[in-house]
Structure 1
Amino acid sequence: MTRSCKELIINQLVLVLSLPVIFGYFGLTAREPILSLSQDLDPSQMYELGRHKMSSGKMCEMLKLQKKQKRMCRRGKGVAESLLEASKLSLYECRYQFKSERWNCTLGQYREHLLRKGFKQTSFLYAISSAGLVHAFARACSQGILDRCTCDESKHLENRKAWLWGGCGDNIRFGLKFTRKFLKRARKSGKDVRAKVDQHNSRVGIKVVKDNVNTTCKCHGVSGSCTVKTCWLQLAKFHAIGRVIKYKYETAIKVGAQTNQATGKSQLVKRQKQPKPNNHAHVHVQSNNLIPKRGDLVYMEDSPNFCRRTKHSPGTSGRLCNKGKNCDIICCGRGYNVQHITVKRACQCQVIWCCKVNCKRCETEEEIYMCK
């Protein structure tokens, strides 16, 4: 086998491992996947897609979108690439936030069944998905990937301090506008309770990105003085967005539906045990106290424990854990097996003037712990 063939195969394998949407992907509606690729792609297609050699039109066909969303995908340069980036960004963050828990964002064949349920995990997926959309498209504007927008120069904002708006800010306004329009194209009905829950959680993800925009500044002046500052709007790192949404996941509120007597429309309300009425008194609960806030993640059903393999997850058997930290939780009390492995790492490194580092390869014996 020639060297070029070997390199091509290695590149394809790296791409297969790096594309999250092949074995684990999720959507933004309970019925149809949105930001996902077809699972029946051959390696050459995946390689071509990963290198962005594929045309945007063809990429839009491969992305599992609804008809109106496909029209949005084809409308301009860079939209398909940004959708793919949003999908990867969201899934990587989901895996990062849940890497030490029983459910570690393993989707793939379990995705469809998971999205049918109103678990807390499903709520997180909706929120992180919409957050990924806003983040990817706002950043794509400033990077020149999209031809429909540019940097946000924040000319609409008043400057009352001794600095000027400038630089190349992330175009938050475009990211918000595109995401809301894109998700609106996915909605089939907003009347049933589950649709209201999904829409609420999607809005939570959008709100988190919007609320975590920073003003970044750079000084200009003689000899390092700061006579003039140029400032621009910058998105928070997506890890920071993920941490906020994960906290909201931890404090998520269980909800149900209740008909508003004044308007006749159903609304989401917190589920809580109501005192039993007796013959002498009628207990009235203020509905305003039961309505979840705009920033709260909400869910409808209690999650399974994810210990054993079900249609919702592969279980935790065979999962790696950290002894003394999370093995008891992840292994669900079943215990773990200990394996000894040999690990090669760079060691005894020396810096050679000016720009070269020489290291030796050292072998160490380590223990790993796998759930039974």
Structure 2
Amino acid sequence: MPTVSTVNLTAPLLLLLLWATNPTMATNWLSLARLPRSRPVSGAAPCARLRGLTPGQVGVCRARGEVMESVRKAAEMVIEECQHQFRNRRWNCSTTPRGINVFGRVMNQGTVIIVVTYSHAEFPADTLSNSYSCILFSILNSGTREAAFVHALSSAAVAVAVTRACTRGELERCGCDRKVRGVSPEGFQWSGCSDNLSYGVAFSQTFVDEPERAKGLSAGRPLMNLHNNEAGRKAILHNMQVECKCHGVSGSCELRTCWKVMPPFRRVGVGLKERFDGATEVRLARIGSRTALLPRDPQVKPPAARDLLYLAPSPDFCHLDPDNGIPGTAGRRCNGTSRLAPDGCELVCCGPGYRAGRAEVVQRCSCKFSWCCSVRCQQCKNTVTIHTCRV
């Protein structure tokens, strides 16, 4: 059920509400993934024509143009990883066919209905309507689990993509992390080219967090987005790995040199998906002179820095809702042999509304290793049972 609030209307509040019904999406930069590779994404003129960027992000684009190709790559990474992680869920990170809002209004789902009363003296009848008794505003910017996940994944993707470009020598302002030096407590020598994650994280904070900081930190949604953005970056830091090379006669490993590398982005996605499943619903509260997000349920412990936060329950995603970018689950494939798993037909199809059919698929079979060095397989046809949600 949506949250319902009643307020008395004044002229400034009316203007604020009219602004809030059309919020600027902080993730519109993901539309860079839609641009053809031949289109430049840096330089004063190209930056100004990138429709998905906020004015502040356009400024970052102009000042640090060499990084923008990595940002475009990050947008592609977000869509690919999101669709992989949610491939068996009702909401499967489906994208809109066009426009700068890649995931549709799903990123702003979570309806809050505000009932606004006003007096005839404040607003004459010809200003609003002849009835002038009340107005209903549906503000779709409360922030769901899905929005929390996409924000975390997006900030992580920018940090990863920029750091990779540093390591490959594609950026003039950064390279390997040379601060990792000396002998480790385990006795190996730090050397080689460690991933310069600090540079990637700093750029992610500058670019991804800019729309939230521009709005101010007194509202719930910017605070939620900033927390989840940082949780995404911490998911990389928590999973940093050490790679080593042995030195010595016949690889005896008398001496090891090691360096730090980022985890595969798939591991970051898996970790954030686990955080999504355990996300904490929060509310905006005032503590002294500042505002903060606290668990809505007082029995729930305060969330940690790596946890994901959301402000409003998600819709069920069962039925087609084009206005909000929800394709529904009709026609979706599901797992008919699993009842309680997320990909089970009863969950995906919102009840027992699914059907089974037979289909012929071509699969690799009878694979053999050939010296040296290839694997040769035959193509086999098999008939399998496919379950799909009823239309």
Range into which the TM-score falls when normalised by the shorter chain: 0.7 to 0.9
CA distance in 1, matches of 2:286, 2:203: 32
- Structure 1 position 251 matched with structure 2 position 245: no
Query: Paired residue for 2:108, among 103, 109, 116?
Result: 116
Shift of 1:319: 0.4
- Structure 1 position 103 matched with structure 2 position 121: no
Structure 1 residues 179 and 225: CA distance shift in structure 2, 3 A: same
Q: Secondary structure at the match of 2:256?
A: strand
Does 110-119 or 136-145 show the bigger shift?
110-119
TM-score (norm 2): 0.74
CA distance in 2, matches of 1:257, 1:358: 59
* Corresponding residue of 1:368: 386
* Corresponding residue of 2:307: 296
Structure 1 residues 199 and 227: CA distance shift in structure 2, 3 A: same
Q: Which amino acid aligns with 2:108?
A: R
- Structure 1 position 315 matched with structure 2 position 328: yes
* Corresponding residue of 2:116: none
After the TM superposition, which residues 197-346 of structure 1 pair with which residues of structure 2 at under 5 Å, given as runs?
197-260=224-287, 263-272=288-297, 291-310=302-321, 311-325=324-338, 326-346=344-364
CA distance in 2, matches of 1:166, 1:59: 39
Structure 1 residues 336 and 80: CA distance shift in structure 2, 3 A: same
Q: Which amino acid aligns with 1:240?
A: R
Structure 1 residues 30 and 201: CA distance shift in structure 2, 3 A: farther
Deviations 1:19-50 (A, max 9, x none): xxxxxxxxxx96344433379x7xxx72635x
* Corresponding residue of 1:180: 205
Q: Which amino acid aligns with 1:80?
A: M
Shift of 1:116: 1.9
* Corresponding residue of 1:9: none
- Structure 1 position 67 matched with structure 2 position 52: no
Shift of 1:348: 4.0
CA distance in 2, matches of 1:353, 1:212: 37
Q: Secondary structure at the match of 1:92?
A: helix
1:331–1:371: 8 Å Cα contact kept in structure 2?
A: yes
Q: Secondary structure at the match of 2:242?
A: strand
Q: Which amino acid aligns with 1:201?
A: N
1:59–1:80: 8 Å Cα contact kept in structure 2?
A: no
Deviations 1:164-211 (A, max 9, x none): 222222111111111111134323222211111111111111111122
Structure 1 residues 359 and 166: CA distance shift in structure 2, 3 A: same
CA distance in 1, matches of 2:41, 2:159: 23
CA distance in 1, matches of 2:173, 2:151: 26
CA distance in 2, matches of 1:272, 1:351: 57
Query: Percent same amino acid at aligned positions?
Result: 32
Q: Secondary structure at the match of 1:174?
A: helix
* Corresponding residue of 2:38: 48
CA distance in 2, matches of 1:344, 1:208: 38
Structure 1 residues 346 and 194: CA distance shift in structure 2, 3 A: closer
Structure 1 residues 350 and 113: CA distance shift in structure 2, 3 A: closer
Instruction: Give the RMSD, CA atoms, in angstroms.
Output: 2.7
List alignment gaps of at least 5 residues for structure 2.
Answer: 1-22, 110-142, 339-343
Q: Secondary structure at the match of 1:210?
A: helix
Shift of 1:340: 2.5
CA distance in 1, matches of 2:334, 2:32: 32
2:41–2:69: 8 Å Cα contact kept in structure 1?
A: no
2:32–2:72: 8 Å Cα contact kept in structure 1?
A: no
1:93–1:242: 8 Å Cα contact kept in structure 2?
A: yes
CA distance in 2, matches of 1:55, 1:107: 22
CA distance in 2, matches of 1:367, 1:176: 46
* Corresponding residue of 1:85: 73
Q: Secondary structure at the match of 1:87?
A: helix
Structure 1 residues 204 and 354: CA distance shift in structure 2, 3 A: closer
CA distance in 2, matches of 1:116, 1:31: 8
Instruction: Count the aligned residue pairs.
Output: 320
List alignment gaps of at least 5 residues for structure 1.
Answer: 1-28, 275-288
2:181–2:190: 8 Å Cα contact kept in structure 1?
A: no
Shift of 1:271: 0.8
Does 206-215 or 62-71 show the bigger shift?
62-71
Shift of 1:221: 0.8
Q: Secondary structure at the match of 1:65?
A: coil
Q: Which amino acid aligns with 1:335?
A: G
Q: Secondary structure at the match of 2:30?
A: coil
Shift of 1:345: 3.1
Shift of 1:55: 6.5
Shift of 1:299: 0.8
Deviations 1:302-353 (A, max 9, x none): 1111111122411110101122121111111142233332222344455555
Q: Which amino acid aligns with 2:239?
A: N
- Structure 1 position 146 matched with structure 2 position 171: yes
